[in-house]
Amino acid sequence: MGLKYHKIFTHDHINARELSEVYMSDSSDHGRLFIMLELPKQKINQQAYIDQLINEIATYFDTSGQDDPETLLEEILQQINQLLPEMGASIKIRNWINTLDLAVGIIYNNNTYMASIGNINGLLINNKQITTIMNENTKLNPSKAFSDIISGELDDGDGLIISTNSLFDYISKEKIKQIIKRYAPSAAAIKINELLETVPDFVTFNSLIIKKPGMRDREINPDELKKPIDFDEEEITDTIKTETDHSPTSPRTKTVIDMGGLKNVDLVKKSGSLFSLFPLYFKTIGSIFTFVGRKIKNSLLFLFSPKFREKKEDETIDGIKEITHKKYYWFQNLNLSKKISVVVLFVIILIFLQSLVFLTQEKAYDAKNEYYNNALITIDAKYKEVDAKLIYDDEEAAEKLLLEIQTLILELTPNSPDQQERIAKMSETVFHKINDIRHIRVVLSPVELFDMSDSLSNTQDIVQKDGIFYIFGDNKLYQIKDNLFEEIFNFTDGQIIQSMTDWPDKNKVVLSSLDANSEINYIIFDLDKKEITGDLKQATNNTSVKDLTVYGNNLYVLDNQNNQIFKYPESGGSFANGQPWIKEELNTSQTSSLTIDGSIYIVTNDGSIKNLLKGGLEKFDYHAPHPNIGTGAIIKTFRDSDYLYIIDPANNRVIILDKEGNIKDQYTSQKFDDLKDLAVDPDEKTIYLLNNQHLYILAINE
């Protein structure tokens, strides 16, 4: 009858302080392989290396053609001796191999062959005696961790236990001997596990019991579970532990107060880390003060002490002279052949360094070209996928692929003017294809009405009246009339203009501003007189201005902070105090713009458009553009208009919706890269786009 075995493996992978594994292979012609492994947890995750080690050992065992188990174990140990130093270098933990407890062995018929490193113990139990056959081995040669193999045959009733140290910390070797001598391996494992039930969960037990079955071996009946062991046949004398087992009815375990367990308490961890930094902190502070003090002292002496300054200058000059003289005289004292050798060596070094620079640049150039060429191949393949998707009218998938192509093109770095030109063409091509799928008209070269880049740096708003354009930017008001651009007013008295809108029934504009006290004022500017003719300091709860517009000679102000629209009625060339216009609870905190044609339309940063009437929300079913309207959109309309005009800066786009919610047109251009505001002709045939310093004209399709 062959050997029987059973493992004892108790491991809480969360609370345990060690990583531990035990592996038993299937039975084969050359026996059964066992691996017992344990090592302390580190900040670096070592589980992948443990899995790799066990997998490679097991694979070699399973695939080996070696029939002799002892020779096979020698070959396995040679493999481990090669593998461990490589793993230690990869893990980058100092003396990693010395932290490893590892036993490897083969059970074959009645024989056991094994070897170990680290804190692994092996006890042979025969004839009521305990013999230590495997000792701790912690001083290892990293290049040859395993050196000796222990082997032997077990007689009937003989037992062998291989275990990490923790088992013997809690149960004496004598008691383990009595249990293994009396019970079969599976029953012995049950009895030992019962004795370990009260042990803290951070302790790991990793053991293997191997035994040649004897006539007196006992199994455990269900009614014997949890019952004390009765050793009437022989007196238990604990020759290994010094304490006496007073109660034969209770598990003989040690009471352990584990101060190291406090390290798992978060508060203790943080406090310990903090206190450990104190010495370094004070040392660093002291060094900083010393260094800064010395530098301040030297700086003050250098500024105010001519002697100190002269001394430092002399020391610096003397140091340079000394170094120069040493090098010069060293060279002068060389004989001619050595001088020639030094010069030649210096030239060779220069040539080598220059060659190294050229080689590095060439490699970098080749790498960039390789990336560029691979990107072109990928882009070409994706274009073919786009064509395939469009055959089946899958525009959504085609658009996704085109966006991936656009990203690849943006990531390309040109190495030559030809590559730069090609990238620009590819960028333009994919831009057109994306917008074709989105059904957006691409304006190749929008007509530029005026270039203001020489006169101002930043624009905000535009108003168009009878062919005259009023542009607000850089806290100034400008006018474009008869193709002449001129400044007509400079707001320089501490007023910060936030927004400007047209007063349609009068030749005036209304501006909101913040004064020095961050209070809101509304300014009425007469375009004929080119001067401020009225103002209003708000006296309501209107505390912010996101957008404003005039309709029916009433001023409407969008206040994001208060989730409100305030209405200011006309009063004597100006406006009376405002009153809240929204009558129901409505979140307008993310609204970016409003416009009025009797109803109020607002557009929000999430791309939605809402219709408000008489202070409440009205139903407005509209066809949502694709892609969704981005943040910072501006919406415009007027009393007799059939359309809503929207600029979408996030997508370089102009959208025209009819009042039924249908999309009339969408326009885009690569030049619409900084859309600020728009104005529409009363006959609705032309849109004027303020793209920061450029004023473009866009014809509306009939």
CATH number, domain with residue 507: 2.130.10.10
Residue found by looking up tokens 């998938």 in the block: 397
For the chain, how many residues are written?
Answer: 702
Q: What is the pLDDT of residue 143?
A: 61
Question: Does the pLDDT of residue 263 top 70, yes or no?
Answer: no
How does pLDDT run across 13-49, given as a tens digit for each residue? Answer: 888 888 999 999 988 888 899 999 999 988 788 888 8
Structural domain harbouring 319: 265-333
Final residue of a structural domain among 298, 333, 368: 333
pLDDT at 163 over 50: yes
pLDDT at 80 over 70: yes
On whether the CB atoms of residues 547 and 592 are closer than 8 A, the answer is yes
Q: How far apart are CA 6 and CA 214, in angstroms?
A: 16
| 205/345 same-domain check | no
Q: Are residues 344 and 309 in the same domain?
A: no
pLDDT of residue 644: 96
The verdict on 497 and 587 lying in the same domain is yes
Pair (574, 636) in one structural domain: yes
Res. 253 pLDDT band, cuts 50 70 90? very low
**Where residue 63 sits, what CATH number does that domain have?**
3.60.40.10
Looking at residue 618, its pLDDT comes to: 92
Q: Give me the number of domains the chain comprises.
A: 4
Q: Is the peptide bond before 627 cis (omega within 30 degrees of 0)?
A: yes
- Phi/psi class of residue 419: alpha, beta or left (left: φ > 0; alpha: ψ in -120 to 50)? alpha
The whole-number average pLDDT for the span 301-310 is 79
Domain boundary among 223, 257, 291: 257
Query: Does a structural domain hold residue 15?
Result: yes
Residue 442 located in a structural domain:
no
Assess if residue 245 is contained within a domain: yes
pLDDT of residue 308: 81
DSSP secondary structure string, 97-119? GGG-EEEEEEEETTEEEEEEEBS
Q: Which residues are paired to 137 by β-bridges? A: 118
What pLDDT was estimated at residue 287? 83
Q: Could you tell me if residue 217 is inside a domain?
A: yes
Confidence of residue 465 (pLDDT cuts 50, 70, 90): very high
Together in a domain, 229 and 287: no
Do 11 and 79 fall into the same domain? yes
Spatial contact of 461 and 676, defined as CB atoms under 8 Å apart? yes
The answer to whether 628 and 584 have CB atoms below 8 angstroms apart is no
Do 680 and 629 have their domain in common?
Answer: yes
User: What pLDDT does 230 receive?
Assistant: 60
Residue type, 496: I
pLDDT band at 239 (very low <50, low <70, confident <90, very high): very low
Residue after which a domain boundary falls, among 415, 437, 459? 437
The residues pairing with 164 across neighbouring beta strands, listed in sequence order, are 120
Please report how many Cα atoms fall inside a 13 Å half-sphere around the Cα of residue 251, on the Cβ side: 16
Indicate whether 275 and 208 sit together in one domain: no
Residue 292 host element (H or E):
helix 266-304
E strands within 351-475?
441-442, 447-451, 459-465, 468-473
Instruction: Determine the Cα–Cα distance for residues 701 and 491; give it in Å rounded to an integer.
Output: 39
Predicted confidence (pLDDT) at residue 613 exceeds the cutoff of 70: yes
Kindly state the tokens that stand for 483: 């193709």
pLDDT tens, position by position, 327-344: 777 777 778 887 888 888
Residue 103 belongs to some domain of the structure = yes
Instruction: Tell me whether residue 656 is in a domain.
Output: yes
Position 134 scores a pLDDT of 81
Q: Are residues 353 and 465 in the same domain?
A: no
82: left (phi over 0), alpha (psi -120 to 50) or beta: alpha
Say whether both 411 and 474 belong to one domain.
Answer: no
Q: Any idea which of 322-326, 347-351, 568-572, 599-603 has the lowest mean pLDDT?
A: 322-326
Residues 342 and 328 grouped into a single domain: no
Exposed e or buried b for every residue in 618-638, given b needs 16+ CB within 10 A? eebebeebbbebbeebbbbbb
What are the backbone angles phi and psi of residue 5, rounded to the nearest 5°? -150, 160
Q: How far is CA 312 from the centre of its chain?
A: 51
What pLDDT, on the 0 to 100 scale, is given for residue 524? 95
Q: Is residue 552 part of a domain?
A: yes
Does residue 296 sit in the same domain as residue 347?
Answer: no
Give domain status of residue 369, yes or no. Answer: yes
